[in-house]
Amino acid sequence: MDNLTLTTEMIVVLALLAFTIFLFVSEIVRVDVAAISVMVLLGLLSLVPGLADITELDQLFAGFASNAVIAIIAVMIIGAGLDRTGVMHQVAGFIMRFGGTTEKQIIPTVSGTVGIISSFMQNIGAAALFMPVMSRISNRLNIPISRLLMPMGFAAIVGGTITMVGSSPLILLNDLLPDGMEPFGLFDVTPIGLALLASVIVYFVVLGRFVLPSAPSLSGSGETTADYFRRVYGLNYEIREVRVTRDSALVGLTVAEAEQKFGVVIIGSYVADDLRIGPWSAYEIEGGADLAVLGSPDALASFVDHTGVRPRRELQVFANAMAPSKSGIAEIVIAPGSRLIGKTVTEVAMRRTYGLSVLRLQRGEEPIREGLRDVPLQSTDTLIAHCDWDSLARLEDDRDFVVVTSDYPREQLRPSKVPHALFFLVVALSLILFTDLPLSAALMTGALGMILTGVIAIDDAYRAVSWKTVFLLASLIPLGAAVENTGTAAWIAQNTLDILGEVSPWVLQGTIFALATFFTLVMSNVGATVLLVPLSINFALAAQMAGMEADPRVFALTVAIATSNSFLIPTHQVNALIMGPGGYRVIDYLKAGSIMTILFMVVAMIMLNVVF
């Protein structure tokens, strides 16, 4: 095999590759902004003398029309359509009836169901749909939610390896294969994915009692809402009704000023026959008004002493509005990709816009109590808020939030569109399996059918798409092409083989698997796939030239599978999503995820070589 010479173009591409990884790891800018910046920089570099061939300028933005990007958009719309029909709620009801009543019975049922569902929709969506189910099961069966969410989350991640449309890396894979290489079929990876899902289930059934965190056991048939929030978040609250006297210290203050000054939350007001739940923060308190005030017993006692209000022994004006059937405390997570990220509770007018009176903000292991209304929101922040149930029900249809609270009174979902949704899902899958239609066209047929039959409105379809993922993927495709076309991937592969020396193909494949696992922990799985698939193919080709039996197609699939091996730290969106509601710490992921990471690698490597 001829030795490749390091050229100027290769050096520039290597520098750009290192710069991309630095941007992803350091998060100086958002990953999608970083990817767009690299794409534009790649185009500008082609103007430099001697670098004209680094990329084809007419193909710089071709990623936005690629088969993979369109397919991912269609999968997101189909998943949202299934969600809106209430199919997932019916699945949840089935699990509640037949899934068993013990932890060892619930984990296989839920994990298996989530894993299968995430094979046809984005794993973050599957996990978000089942979080309320986990909350309901936890409350009714008196099983700590910390022992249910992590198995469910890990199963959602692994479920993306069951079909070629289950995760972004697998959807993208066929587009990254060289011309002439046989593409993978929809169910080619199914045996591997099912084996990985089974390993997750067996792992948590056998070792769950040792690796999962457990809250203190509770007596009785179940815990109340107040008990739950006191246990998980240390939130001890009561609701008192008070009458504001004309000479009260509250008169003239806004709701926000009163809350900040006295450390309580005003969740209701009644003035001149106008009753409001979650009054606007800028609402000015008048003498003679009735208020519903929420806070700890000590805070409420201090509030009464310092304001001169007249407390009532029981709720009168607010008796109906504050009844458990009308309102209560809810747990809501800021969804990944939410439009609220970077904004404060005050800026989005949380009460006026969404009907939420925020009591507490939980960010990973860090509770934020003081000044929480001025703290910029982050993805997967958990809001503990008081609201009426109608407002909470509306949030379930809002892609900016994931509603964790499930046991609250609400109208039943209408299943009238279920037949339409299932029909077009079957149509899309049939086109993939039995025709030569591109994956993007087949999936978009199903998505369009759901839109035209009213399963999902076109505006809701637009909102269902994670445009951050779309721009991230489309912007990285030109960089992946540059790594391949300039010979950079072949040069890296050749030099890596020289360093490793004479090793078996298993060692080489394991090296690629470990490299992809590391990359996906520090950067997006899409980015890791785009960067490493061309490299892995060149590894295999170089190994073949050295006389080893290495299949480039299998090496490429190894990367796409390995990018789902993301359990060690909460960097994956699913792990970040369940961290707050599950009360997990980073150490919990390290404890449960370390063994799972090794198990995933062993099972995946064995199955890849058995199947292919």
Give the model confidence (pLDDT) of 236-283 as tens digits.
788 889 999 988 999 999 988 898 888 888 988 998 888 888 888 888
Give the model confidence (pLDDT) of 19-77 as tens digits.
988 887 777 887 788 889 999 999 999 899 888 888 888 888 988 888 878 887 888 78
* Rounded Cα distance, 413 and 97, in Å: 18
| Average pLDDT value over all residues in the chain | 84
Range 548-577 average pLDDT: 87
Of all helices (H) and strands (E), which one includes residue 257?
A: helix 255-262
Give the model confidence (pLDDT) of 381-428 as tens digits.
999 888 888 888 889 888 899 888 876 765 444 468 889 989 998 998
* Start-to-end CA span in the chain (Å): 26
* Inter-residue contact 156 to 131 (CB < 8 Å): no
Strand partners, 357: 386
Nearest to 201 by CA among 131, 122, 92, 109: 109
* Inter-residue contact 520 to 573 (CB < 8 Å): no
* Rounded Cα distance, 76 and 577, in Å: 18
Could you tell me the strand order of the sheet in which 366-368 lies?
366-368, 357-363, 382-388, 327-334, 401-403
Query: Which pLDDT score, from 0 to 100, does residue 571 have?
Result: 67
* Rounded Cα distance, 227 and 319, in Å: 21
Q: Is the per-residue pLDDT at 221 higher than 60?
A: no
Query: Which pLDDT score, from 0 to 100, does residue 321 have?
Result: 76
- Mapped onto helix, strand or coil, the DSSP state of residue 301 is helix
Which is it for strands 238-243 and 274-277: parallel, antiparallel or unpaired? unpaired
* Rounded Cα distance, 101 and 108, in Å: 12
* Inter-residue contact 146 to 365 (CB < 8 Å): no
Nearest to 148 by CA among 135, 166, 159: 135
* Rounded Cα distance, 30 and 49, in Å: 31
Query: Which pLDDT score, from 0 to 100, does residue 484 have?
Result: 72
- Who's near 321: CB < 8 A, 6+ residues apart? 268, 275, 277, 292, 327, 388
Which is it for strands 382-388 and 327-334: parallel, antiparallel or unpaired? antiparallel
Phi, psi of 309 (to 5 degrees): -75, 160
Q: Is the per-residue pLDDT at 92 higher than 70?
A: no
Range 534-560 average pLDDT: 87
Query: Which pLDDT score, from 0 to 100, does residue 156 have?
Result: 93
* Rounded Cα distance, 446 and 125, in Å: 18
* Rounded Cα distance, 156 and 120, in Å: 11
pTM of the shown model: 0.64
Q: Is the per-residue pLDDT at 106 higher than 80?
A: yes
* Rounded Cα distance, 537 and 542, in Å: 9
Rg (CA), the chain: 27
Question: Tokens in use for 239?
Answer: 């609701």
Question: Tokens in use for 11?
Answer: 């050096």
Q: Is the per-residue pLDDT at 222 higher than 60?
A: no
Q: Is the per-residue pLDDT at 216 higher than 50?
A: no
Q: Is the per-residue pLDDT at 486 higher than 80?
A: yes
User: Which amino acid is it at 475?
Assistant: S
Q: What residue ranges define each of the domains in the chain, with the CATH number in brackets? A: 68-218+422-463 (no CATH), 245-308 (3.30.70.1450), 327-403 (3.30.70.1450)
Give the model confidence (pLDDT) of 150-207 as tens digits.
999 999 999 999 999 888 899 889 988 988 899 999 899 999 999 999 999 999 999 9
* Rounded Cα distance, 386 and 406, in Å: 14
* Rounded Cα distance, 478 and 462, in Å: 25
Percent of the chain scored above 90 by pLDDT? Answer: 25
Q: For the residues of 188-205, what is the DSSP string, one character each?
A: TTHHHHHHHHHHHHHHHH
**114-132 per-residue burial string, b: 16 or more CB within 10 A, e: under 16:** bbbbbbbbbbbbbbbbbbb
* Inter-residue contact 545 to 514 (CB < 8 Å): no
Helical pair 418-434 and 439-452, crossing angle rounded to 10 deg: 160
Q: Is 360 left (phi over 0), alpha (psi -120 to 50) or beta?
A: beta
Question: Tokens in use for 415?
Answer: 């299943």
